[in-house]
Structure 1
Amino acid sequence: MMKTVDLPRSATAGLDLDRPLASLGALLRDWLPRQRWFAGKDRPVTELSVLSVTELFPGCLHLLVHADHSAGGDPSPSGDCYQLLLGAREHRTPRLERAYIGRAEEGPLAGLAIYDALHDPRAAELLLERLRIPGTAGPLRFETAPDARIPGELAPRLLTAEQSNSSLVYGDSYILKVFRRIQPGINPDLEVPGALAAQGCARVPAPVAWFHTTEPRPATLGVLQPFLPDAADGWTLSLRALAAGDDFATEAHELGRATADVHLALASAFPSAGREDHGRTAQAMTARLEAAAHAVPALRPFAPGLRGAFEALAGCAGGPPAQRIHGDLHLGQVLRADREWFVIDFEGEPSRPLAERRGIQSPVRDVAGMLRSFDYAARQRRPWRPAWARHCREAYCAGYAARAGWDPREKHALLRAHETDRAVYEVVYEARHRPAWLPVPMAAIERLARWGG
């Protein structure tokens, strides 16, 4: 039975929603750049356009907006599409103060208080109802897995720790990831867990419901999966071990085995032929380095040595077959519950094109991401404990080799290149979002720039 939720009378019913920017344009231009998931913080929004708007339920609008960052005179658009769920109320509500965006001064929503509806428990409950019962709302499509039985009356809470998306936990049963940065096509965080579930891979929670849009182009908007209430993420566990002075090698070894299990299941779920084109991969890495050095001057003195890592990759022969991978693997993307490791968040790096994230790549890239994460964890303590990170690296690679049948440590040129590429990405990320953390990847850059890593 559907739970009855007492929402205020629809503040948007009967309004002309074909002109939403007349009410929302000024508010969103100010609000969007301040959100953690907004990717264009270092670039001004030169134009804001609404791609679609739907009244999802009374008092809640679903929008896809495009934020353009094109420089003056540049005819080519440069920006991103974002998903917004906006509440509209006649009166400002103290309990939603953190979600308050502003009061519309003109247009069809003039006089209404606008807020981020994901912070509103009543709106979150209705969003789950949409997922429980498949159906449509304008261009939006809500679907459930064939065997899914999602109970109602689950209290929602919004998680606050995420960077690039927003997640709602319902009771202790489910977690809904609402994608913020939208690209056309199926999102890997829906595609991959579904395929792995069909393979019987128990290390990845399977999707139970999802929603997507058909306009302006088909795209995944959100995924509901089982929630592991007693789980702790790898980042938290590693920091606890460091604080207690404990070794983490046993957990790292098991995590290496879990990573290999997922890679084996991915190779089976997404069969592919051929090997990675090392020359093309090295060329792409070099291009990212050049762009990063332009954006972060601190990288420039190390660029020659870093290019050497990519040149070595271009001349490298062999290596494991390219396949579908996680794409953004680190300690924050793994959970430990009941002494088992689980892998989550298969979206990949949201800054990269969706076609690239869905393509085949070397599994060494995932290994490199986890090795960099051990280094990040070790550097959270003073004094830095390099031996702790080194032991974790060795144990992780040994665990991976025990399951995968090949040892990442024996692929020196591959591993060095992918670690270098990851560290370059980290430098740009930290420079833009967390400047105080910049010394962490810069220390790795200095090490990796030396020949031999």
Structure 2
Amino acid sequence: MPKTAFVHRTAPGAADTMASLGDLLRQWLPSQRWFAGKDRPVSELGLLSMTELYPGCLHLLVHTGHTAVPAPGGTGFSGDCYQLLLGVREHLPPGLEQAVVGRAVGGPLAGLTVYDALQDPRSARLLLERLRHPGTAGPLCFEADPAARVPSGLTPRLLDAEQSNTSLVYGDAYILKVFRRVQPGVNPDLEVPRALAAQGCRRVPEPMAWFRTTRPQPATLGVLQPFLPGASDGWTLALRALASGDDFAAEAHELGRALAEVHLALASAFPSGTRAENGRTAAAMTERLEAAARCVPALQPYTAGLRGAFGALAGCEAGPPAQRVHGDLHLGQVLRTGSDWFVIDFEGEPSRPLAERCSVQSPVRDVAGMLRSFDYAARQRRPWRPQWAGRCREAFCAGYAARAGWDPRTKHALLRAYETDRAVYEVLYEARHRPDWLPVPMAAIERLAVRGD
């Protein structure tokens, strides 16, 4: 098996439990925002781990597959691992109708209603109590910063936002991110903020508590951090500025400075001392382009021009040293409270292997992600305002340069290649999840392939 995949083995009691849950999960999982295989039926479903957190609440790690292709060595199947917290009751309390997975008709849970326990305030409170009192429950380990003092009795609410995980806010003081798609290893959304806190970086909320599993392989399952009440994400602020006709350049400049500070702290916390290998990076980008073009025919007329962007990268100067980066930076991953910007969600792109998300890369990748996000925001209103996006791009790069000591605008070939790679990723994402948004990245694809801007 690859190091980033869970081995698929039968958990104790799996046959009995899956007799109750199998058919329900096959129908329910593809309808969830965080499930990656919406476009393919679930052909493989296995139970990797099951723990009763408390009576009526089961913690599950389930393996899903879309093809019955044996993994190397014959020990598993290709697919993903998902974390589920399922409530099981005879009668569902009022207000949880939207959380229903289904009613089991067979197995040990026959006749009982199964639902997503993370939407149940009682379950959410009990989960926080587990984090407040470190300990174990079967293979689950609940841990906390020794200096953290999280109060009891905080009212939970489910964060209503489009995301690839599930987040619970407690008393507008803390936020718990529960990772849905799980890979073995320490999740960077725990590893990175802890390391930055040790560096004294205050641009990233510090983890207070977390939980993980030791079976079937060690993996991070969730992280509790301070919640920033009254904060607005960059996407909301940008759209608000566009709607009111306001400029966003001053905010973009300060955001550039904030990202540079985070990059400097990351370079200190995770020293690498290496330079990005442009030839290898260009080859990987080209491979991703070709894979995306096979899935999205609209890309195919532009592949020659896009390959040119990656070819130019292979022949250009090395650029800034490779280091740990955010990896999936956009306006939705930054928060502003008062005059301060904060960077959140260091998990990276969940669709990519954990080893890749934790690898050192050029900081230009994060810069390119934010520049693409300004373009996304500008295209949300008609007529499109390219001048607004252009001013944001210039101000963001200027702010970054003022703090980082190097200017992304002087790395034209490097920046174009990373913007192109990001746009290719966006095309594939929108084609799979939000087809109505596909014209937004396709406009960038046409610009980057034809004009080379």
Q: Which residue of 2 aligns with 1:10?
A: none
Helix, strand or coil: the match of 1:84? strand
Return 5+ residue gaps in structure 2 as ranges: 1-11
Deviation at residue 17 of structure 1 after TM alignment: 6.4
1:28 to 8, 25, 29: 25
Q: Which residue of 1 aligns with 2:207?
A: 207
Q: TM-score, normalised by structure 1?
A: 0.95
Helix, strand or coil: the match of 1:351? coil
Deviation at residue 19 of structure 1 after TM alignment: 2.5
Q: Which residue of 1 aligns with 2:284?
A: 284
Q: 1-side partners of 2:136 and 2:68: how far apart?
A: 38
CA contact (8 A) 1:17 1:108 kept: no
1:166-205 map, 5 Å: 166-205=166-205
Q: 1-side partners of 2:92 and 2:230: how far apart?
A: 36
Q: 2-side partners of 1:264 and 1:146: how far apart?
A: 27
Q: Which residue of 2 aligns with 1:371?
A: 371
Q: Match for 1:402: what amino acid?
A: A
Q: 2-side partners of 1:138 and 1:167: how far apart?
A: 23
Q: Which residue of 1 aligns with 2:416?
A: 416
1:40-55 map, 5 Å: 40-55=37-52
CA contact (8 A) 2:69 2:77 kept: no
Deviation at residue 255 of structure 1 after TM alignment: 0.2
Q: Which residue of 2 aligns with 1:356?
A: 356
CA contact (8 A) 2:232 2:336 kept: yes
1:253-307 per-position Cα deviation (integer Å, ceiling 9, x unaligned): 0000000000000000111121011111111111100010000000000000000
Could you list the runs of 4 or more consecutive aligned residues of structure 1 that deviate by over 3 angstroms after TM superposition? 15-18, 71-76
Deviation at residue 133 of structure 1 after TM alignment: 0.4
Matched, 1:115 2:112: no
Helix, strand or coil: the match of 1:40? coil
CA contact (8 A) 1:156 1:171 kept: yes
Change (3 A) 1:72 1:256: closer
CA contact (8 A) 2:70 2:78 kept: no
Deviation at residue 18 of structure 1 after TM alignment: 6.2
Q: TM-score, normalised by structure 2?
A: 0.95
Q: Which residue of 1 aligns with 2:449?
A: 449
1:42-441 map, 5 Å: 42-70=39-67, 77-441=77-441
Deviation at residue 44 of structure 1 after TM alignment: 1.7
Q: Match for 1:26: what amino acid?
A: D
CA contact (8 A) 1:68 1:80 kept: yes
1:119-153 per-position Cα deviation (integer Å, ceiling 9, x unaligned): 00000000000000000000000000010001000
Q: 2-side partners of 1:148 and 1:26: how far apart?
A: 42
Deviation at residue 451 of structure 1 after TM alignment: 4.7
Q: Is the deviation greater in 443-452 or in 303-312?
A: 443-452
Q: Match for 2:203: what amino acid?
A: R
Helix, strand or coil: the match of 1:450? helix
Q: 2-side partners of 1:436 and 1:167: how far apart?
A: 26
Q: 1-side partners of 2:115 and 2:183: how far apart?
A: 24
Query: Structure 1 vs Structure 2: percent identity of aligned residues?
Result: 77
1:39-77 per-position Cα deviation (integer Å, ceiling 9, x unaligned): 011122111000000001111000000101116799883
Q: 1-side partners of 2:351 and 2:298: how far apart?
A: 22
Q: 2-side partners of 1:73 and 1:208: how far apart?
A: 40
1:213-267 per-position Cα deviation (integer Å, ceiling 9, x unaligned): 0000000000000000110000000000000000000000000000000000000
Deviation at residue 379 of structure 1 after TM alignment: 0.2
Q: 2-side partners of 1:363 and 1:390: how far apart?
A: 21
CA contact (8 A) 2:423 2:441 kept: yes
Aligned residues: 439
Q: Match for 1:362: what amino acid?
A: S
1:62-115 per-position Cα deviation (integer Å, ceiling 9, x unaligned): 000010111679988321100000000011333110000111111111111000
Deviation at residue 356 of structure 1 after TM alignment: 0.5
Deviation at residue 175 of structure 1 after TM alignment: 0.1
CA contact (8 A) 1:69 1:77 kept: no
1:322-372 per-position Cα deviation (integer Å, ceiling 9, x unaligned): 000000000000000021000000000000100010110000000000000
Q: Match for 2:270: what amino acid?
A: F
Q: Match for 1:257: what amino acid?
A: R
Deviation at residue 163 of structure 1 after TM alignment: 2.2
Q: Which residue of 2 aligns with 1:3?
A: none
1:145-165 per-position Cα deviation (integer Å, ceiling 9, x unaligned): 010001000000001213200
Q: Which residue of 1 aligns with 2:4?
A: none
RMSD across aligned positions (CA): 1.4
Q: 1-side partners of 2:97 and 2:297: how far apart?
A: 40
